[in-house]
Structure 1
Amino acid sequence: MHVLLAGATGAVGRQLLPLLLAAGHQVTAVTRTAAGAATLRAQGAGAVRLDVLDRAAVERAVAAAAPDAVVHQLTALAEYDLAANARIRREGTRNLVDAAHGAGVPRIVAQSIAWAYRGGDAPADETVPLDDTTEEPRATTVGALLALEEAAAELPEHVLLRYGMLYGPGTWYAKGGLMADRLHRGELSAGAAVTSFLHVEDAARAALAALAWPSGAVNVVDDEPAPAHEWLPALAAALGAPAPARSTGRAAWERGADNTLARTARGWRPTRPSWRTGFAELG
């Protein structure tokens, strides 16, 4: 299969590209920089310099590549810029989907997230609606996800990967990353908010597998949703940071996600079934 990989130099893309190539796929990888293009070509991919917000350029690039599928792993989170990330999800996805339509590309695999569901007491499965009633600042993120997922679903074959909170190389949850800095500054407290995690390598494995999955949204998370008072001290220990203060309470949407569909109907299982063992690799 010929795959156009958007976000090839991001946290997931860096893990995914070698998997795609090893599986025998032809890859046209998208990057914004000349240095990124050189790195991608050295790995054996074709490379295109492209700003996904430039609609005309996206149309030209997708038409020229004529792929069988688009894999959309674009974010703008390195600087914790949630507004820029929302714009990528809204406008960038719109441009990719319209370009795919124009080029006759039937399939998209797109990155979404597993903590945008409406509130509840148990981890959310895929039947729970996304939380379109939430308030700012969360509304910016959820609104952009709704736009992303609705746009992707316009293609006849579309898989929406609702990733858990990513940890590992290149993510916020890594040695020297955003969360390590916040822990060292004492900015975080360990309350009852539940999170579902996912190692970035498992995210890439799911994106590879999703090229053959049926259409729809899938929670791609590990097996152990957990409250912050359990996982945050473990993260602090792994990153050599002071233990966070204990607190109480959670928002209704801080519920985690259920991976039963991925495990049973899609045959995907995380190689790190729990953050407990995955965090131990971060030190």
Structure 2
Amino acid sequence: MRIFIAGATGAIGSVLVPLLLDAGHTVTGSTRTEQGLAELAARGANGVRLDVFDRDAVAAAVAADAPDAVIHQLTALGAGNPADNARIRIEGTRNLVDAAKRAGVRTMIAQSIAWAYEPGQGPAGEATPLDTGAPQPRQTTLGGITALEGAVSEIDRHVILRFGAFYGPGTWYAPGSLMADRLTGGTLPANDAVSSFVHVRDAAQATVQALDWPSGPVNIADDHPAPAHTWVPALAAALDRPAPPRTRGGAAWERGALNTRARSLGWTPQHSTWRTGFADQR
């Protein structure tokens, strides 16, 4: 297949591109920088420098590539600004979907999140409604997610990958990154909030497999949703940082996600639990 990846040099894209090439696909990836173009060329992929907010440029890039499938990996996670990420999910997705439709693309795989579900008891499955009535500041994230998923659903065959929190190279949980700094500064609480995680290599593998999956949302997370008072000390040990004391609290939407559907579709994560994965963030 000819595959166009929007956002091909991020934490997922940098792992995904080699996997797709190894599977025999022809890959064109978009990036915002000259360095990104060099990285794509070094991996054996085609590259295009692209501003996702430039509607005409996005349309031209997708039309020129004429892909069989578009993979949407656009985020603005580096600065940790929810408003920037929401803008990409709203405006960037709209431009990408419209470009794909005009180019006759019939398959799109898109990155969403597994912590957008409404409050409730226990980990959420894909049938659980999204938390569309959430107040601010969470509403900024939910607005971006609902816009993204709605737009992507306009493509004939669409798979929306609701990823757990990424860890591994290039993520907030890697050595020397945001969570290490928060542990050092004592600002990462070890409370009752439940999270689901996924290693970036497992997330990339799921994206490759999703090219053959039926339409709809799929949670991509490991087998062990866990409260922060369990996973935070394990992360601290893996990063050689002090573990904070256990505290109480956590929002009702911090509930984790079930990966039953992904498992039924044949996805088998290399790291089935963060318990071993945190120590393997190469």
TM-score bin (small chain): over 0.9
Aligned identity (percent) is 62
Partner of 1:5: 5
The normalised TM-score by structure 2 is: 0.99
Q: Which runs of 5+ in 2 are unaligned?
A: none
Partner of 1:193: 193
Aligned residues of 1:238 and 1:282 also touching (Cα < 8 A): no
The answer to whether residue 276 in structure 2 is matched with residue 269 in structure 1 is no
Alignment of structure 1 residues 192-271 onto 2, 5 Å: 192-264=192-264, 266-271=265-270
Q: For the residues of structure 1 that align with 2:42 and 2:223, how far apart are their CA atoms?
A: 36
Partner of 2:280: 281
Q: 3-state SS of the aligned residue for 2:24?
A: coil
Q: CA deviation at 1:101?
A: 0.6
Partner of 2:67: 67
Q: For the residues of structure 2 that align with 1:244 and 1:270, how far apart are their CA atoms?
A: 29
Partner of 1:19: 19
The normalised TM-score by structure 1 is: 0.98
Q: Which runs of 5+ in 1 are unaligned?
A: none
Number of aligned residue pairs: 282
The answer to whether residue 96 in structure 2 is matched with residue 96 in structure 1 is yes
Q: CA deviation at 1:173?
A: 0.6
Deviations 1:18-62 (A, max 9, x none): 000000000011011112112211211111110111101000000
Q: For the residues of structure 2 that align with 1:222 and 1:241, how far apart are their CA atoms?
A: 24
Partner of 1:106: 106
Deviations 1:177-198 (A, max 9, x none): 1111011001122111000000
Aligned residues of 1:190 and 1:228 also touching (Cα < 8 A): yes
Q: For the residues of structure 2 that align with 1:233 and 1:142, how far apart are their CA atoms?
A: 29
Deviations 1:201-248 (A, max 9, x none): 000000000011110000000000000000000001111111112111
Q: For the residues of structure 1 that align with 2:36 and 2:15, how far apart are their CA atoms?
A: 14
Q: Which runs of 4+ in 1 moved over 4 A?
A: none
Q: CA RMSD in A?
A: 0.9
